[in-house]
Chains A and B, each alone.
Chain A
């Protein structure tokens, strides 16, 4: 029984989609499983003959327990307990599940992303660091089997970090690890089929999981950007050029230090609240986007954060980022202002608890304190929060702190 959600400890096998004796291809739908969160379709990561079903439909099964036996081409069923001792003394029938589980746990774990074996008996060789980064990024190592560049074909950190940036077509037979839970697109209309790159697969899987498993809520505020515009103009006369985005990034980090409840993550039984802000910045690259991290962003000055984000963006586009530079973000900023978007809602970058969507600064009529309609400079900010971690009032307080910083940006100089 694979772990299909962060918090499940057992799954209910609702329905077998294949029967004993069926030939199974990689990607075939094996069963429907109800987790603590949703009903999920379980695909096979193995090919072979479905030889044994260990649990009936409707049964609750603990994670890791065997549910079925798929035999590959040259494999034969071994009577449990006799593998090392030669022929069975008696023609013992398959014993109860607890006895045979050690033989089959490797197989049954195979549907866990990041721990999957590509062929039926081969364990994926990957370094601990590569596994850690793959886990953090929600990337399946199965897709990298055979592409490891370490000694003996071991998958190393560089392979995992470059994977999303290299547009490699999934192997025939569809090893895509993106759950196909939506309707198949229509075909027949003249079309171009663009193979899913690893990056697109990752985006699809991580964001699908985020949007379906994390209870998002959204709070928007419109702030007075006139002080920011004036501040930036004056700052840039000093010779060091900064962008509006740099100001927003630093303010996001500083405000997260003031209101640390948003600088957090939902864990198993606990909420992690971080003491420092590792600011993930969404950067568009060819074929997708990446979210490298500025560590301890709250400690930086405006020129420092400006240089840091410029460096990350350049290296992201050149595919030069190191694995660790993607890991460990605690809150994300996505800015589409440069694309002319006034306001939008972003999908949370798991396992973080919040993401800030930043629009463009626009001129629009506003009512001033004398009840006159004047031309104002306005900026829309939308915070998406994980309601398991952050409540509306907490998020509102955070946005309030952010507003205070951005409407008085000289505070960022200190």
Chain B
């Protein structure tokens, strides 16, 4: 199987879908002639032309609204945000329009749009460029939220997201764009709402999404080699729909849950999962549900401090050890 980057895996997904379905088009700031700020759309403008790969003005509110309208009229826009942090100026379009139109039209109008781009901290670009807003978006009934951790998942989930009839908020990660993994050629899909056990274990469940999955995997390795603890790593892959069954099954197997989440702790994805486990797996728990999240402060600009803000394998290991 070819070894390609996370970036290239996404690029292949776009090419597959642009080829397969003429209603699909890409749009965003510098996605076309400049090949994308992070080169995720490299070569696609050249190959598919200006009608299918469209550069937009610098106004997220405008081009997200354009996307909503195009999707309502039957196209399948894939809208790039240079940073998910910039989505906030277009929240009315995302939440009120993309998220609510199907419900408010009585199911007559769908908004089959993908909103995508990097949603991560840790790159020294400051607080206003480092948001991880999956919790805001997953809080809105009507929106779907996806956060792949590996190149394989990125391609399969992107193809599913483009084909989905609702708006999917696709959270990528600039720190993962260069990661290399095995990715099949051609088209394949990974259904939204199906988690993946990235590592089997028996003693504790590390539950994560996005880059935190890799942090959890590194922590699991340390727990195994240095502490004799067998950690299971559950990669949620999609936040909403959420694979509750996979979470509960894993907790029922290991009886301990540690949630690893690069978002903030307050009202985060991890809070939601902690509530789920407490309500539905209480009798399975042999220790309290705990979390390792980003420290609860705006993204720190100091580089040495920023490194400490996001979950690290060491923090995950230390927290895991408090449960035994």
Q: Which residues of A contact B (CB under 8 A)?
A: 127-132, 150-151, 154, 156-157
Contact = CB atoms under 8 A, between A and B. Distances in A.
Interface string B296-324: 00000000000000000000000000111
Interface residues of B, number: 10
B323 A130 contact: no
A27 B324 CA distance: 33
29 contacts: A127-B255, A127-B285, A127-B286, A127-B287, A128-B282, A128-B283, A128-B284, A128-B285, A128-B286, A129-B255, A129-B283, A129-B284, A129-B285, A129-B286, A130-B286, A131-B283, A132-B283, A150-B286, A150-B287, A150-B324, A151-B287, A151-B322, A151-B323, A151-B324, A154-B287, A156-B286, A156-B287, A157-B255, A157-B286
Contacts of A128: 282-286
| Residue among A128, A131, A132 with the highest chain B CB neighbour number at 10 A | A128
Interface in B273-297: 282-287
A287 to B, nearest CB: 26
Contacts of A150: 286-287, 324
Given A150-B324, A151-B322, A157-B286, 16 more contacts: A127-B255, A127-B286, A128-B282, A128-B283, A128-B284, A128-B286, A129-B255, A129-B283, A129-B285, A132-B283, A150-B286, A150-B287, A151-B287, A151-B323, A154-B287, A156-B287
Interface of B: 255, 282-287, 322-324
From B255, B285, B323, residue with most partner A Cβ within 10 Å: B255
Contacts of B285: 127-129
Tell me if A's interface is mostly helix, strand, loop or mixed: helix
Contacts of A127: 255, 285-287
Contacts of B322: 151
B284 to A, nearest CB: 6
Contacts of A154: 287
A164 B285 CA distance: 21
A129 B324 CA distance: 14
Contacts of B283: 128-129, 131-132
A157 B284 CA distance: 10
A132 B286 CA distance: 10
B6 to A, nearest CB: 38
B221 to A, nearest CB: 23
Contacts of A156: 286-287
Top 4 A-B pairs, shortest CB-CB distance: A129-B286, A132-B283, A127-B286, A157-B286
B223 to A, nearest CB: 16
B191 to A, nearest CB: 28
Contacts of B323: 151
A128 B281 CA distance: 9
A85 B303 CA distance: 52
A150 B324 CA distance: 6
Nearest to B281: A128
A151 B322 CA distance: 7
A332 to B, nearest CB: 23
A127 B286 CA distance: 5
A132 B282 CA distance: 10
Nearest to A151: B322
A129 B251 CA distance: 11
B213 to A, nearest CB: 26
Nearest to A152: B322
A121 B228 CA distance: 37
A131 B285 CA distance: 10
A125 to B, nearest CB: 11
Nearest to B278: A128
A157 B323 CA distance: 13
A151 to B, nearest CB: 6
Q: Which of B255, B286, B287 has the most CB of A within 10 A?
A: B286
Contacts of B286: 127-130, 150, 156-157
Nearest to A130: B286
Nearest to A135: B283
A128 B322 CA distance: 17
Contacts of A130: 286
A129 B254 CA distance: 11
A317 B207 CA distance: 35
A199 to B, nearest CB: 21
A315 to B, nearest CB: 15
A156 B324 CA distance: 9
B103 to A, nearest CB: 37
A23 B323 CA distance: 41
A151 B283 CA distance: 18
A127 B322 CA distance: 14
B244 to A, nearest CB: 18
A128 B284 CA distance: 7
B182 to A, nearest CB: 35
Contacts of B282: 128
